[in-house]
Amino acid sequence: MRSFTVVGTDTGVGKTVVTAGLVGWLRGEGLDACGIKPAQTGYPPDDDAGFIAEACGDERAAVCLERLEPALAPAVAAEQEGVSISYAEIRAGCERELATADVGVVEGIGGLRVPLTEGKEVVDLVADLDLPAVVVARSGLGTLNHTALTVEALERRDVLVRAVVVNKYEEATVAERTNPDVIERMVGVPVHTVPLVSLDEPADAVDAVRDHLPRSVLGLAVER
């Protein structure tokens, strides 16, 4: 199985919850899967790697390479703190973690054009790691534009988009009910929905993702 990235159309779309669900699902299959967060801002209290580890019930299920306190883009947060973060070290750290796991799941930071460091953006890291991507998108009004632009940006960098996951899907509006089919026609990749509106505890993410997404999102084309 090949490692992959989970990227979002924006911040707050549910990348971490979907990543936790996918990592937990893979670990439930007996694979040493690991969620990899290149940089965490807003720490504390935000701790995406911690959430993934808690969802999987194992602190080895996730790792974070850089942590910054300001809840800003990594490049901006580092500037505010008066520290420097190295793109080469972040990339090398991701590659190291990918090499030691059966399957690595690299979670993005915000959207693709978020400044990472040294003039590099999240999309640069995704392209340099040469991994397929799962795109997490909002379900409601406005998601068509954001999702199509995200997929286009990835494909322009020769990143294979494995699937789009429309998160927090409630079918409450006409826009929500029609968006998945419209997105699929627009971008030409499989679109799936997950009704992750709220979780009682992190572990619920694993069941929700496993129950609503096909195994092809993990890189397996055949159901079993």
| pLDDT tens profile 64-101 | 999 999 999 999 999 999 999 999 999 999 999 999 99
pLDDT 10s digits, 155-165? 999 999 999 99
Cα separation, 35 vs 37, in Å, equals: 7
Q: Indicate if the pLDDT at residue 223 is higher than 90.
A: no
Active site residue 37: yes
| Secondary structure of residue 115 in the 3-state scheme | strand
Ligand-binding site membership of 30 (annotated): no
Residue 128 has pLDDT above 50, yes or no: yes
Q: How far apart are CA 214 and CA 67, in angstroms?
A: 33
pLDDT of residue 221: 52
Tell me: is residue 17 an annotated ligand-binding position.
yes
15 is in an annotated binding site: yes
Look over the chain and give the mean of its residue pLDDT values, rounded to a whole number: 96
> Quick one: CA torsion of 95, 104, 153, 109, rounded to 10 degrees?
-90
As a whole-number percent, the residues of the chain with pLDDT over 90 amount to 95
Question: In 57-141, where does DSSP find H-type helix?
Answer: 74-81, 87-100, 122-129
Exposed, middle or buried, 12 (CB in 10 Å: 0-12/13-18/19+)?
Answer: exposed
What is the maximum span of the chain, computed from C-alpha positions, in angstroms? 51
Percentage, residues of the chain above pLDDT 70: 97
pLDDT at 196 (0 to 100): 74
pLDDT band at 224 (very low <50, low <70, confident <90, very high): very low
- Judge whether 139 and 147 are in contact, CB under 8 Å: no
pTM: 0.96
Cα angle 106-110-116, degrees, rounded to a multiple of 5: 75
At the fourth CATH level, the homologous superfamily of domain 4-215 is P-loop containing nucleotide triphosphate hydrolases (3.40.50.300)
219 labeled part of a ligand binding site: no
DSSP strand pairing (133-137 vs 161-167): parallel
Do 36 and 98 touch, CB atoms closer than 8 A? yes
Q: According to the annotation, is 222 in a ligand binding site?
A: no
What is the per-residue pLDDT for 219?
86
- Spot the catalytic one: 8, 24, 25, 37: 37
pLDDT at position 222 is: 45
State both tokens at 161. Answer: 């988009």
**41 belongs to an annotated ligand binding site:** yes
What is the C-alpha to C-alpha distance for residues 151 and 186, in angstroms, rounded to an integer? Answer: 10
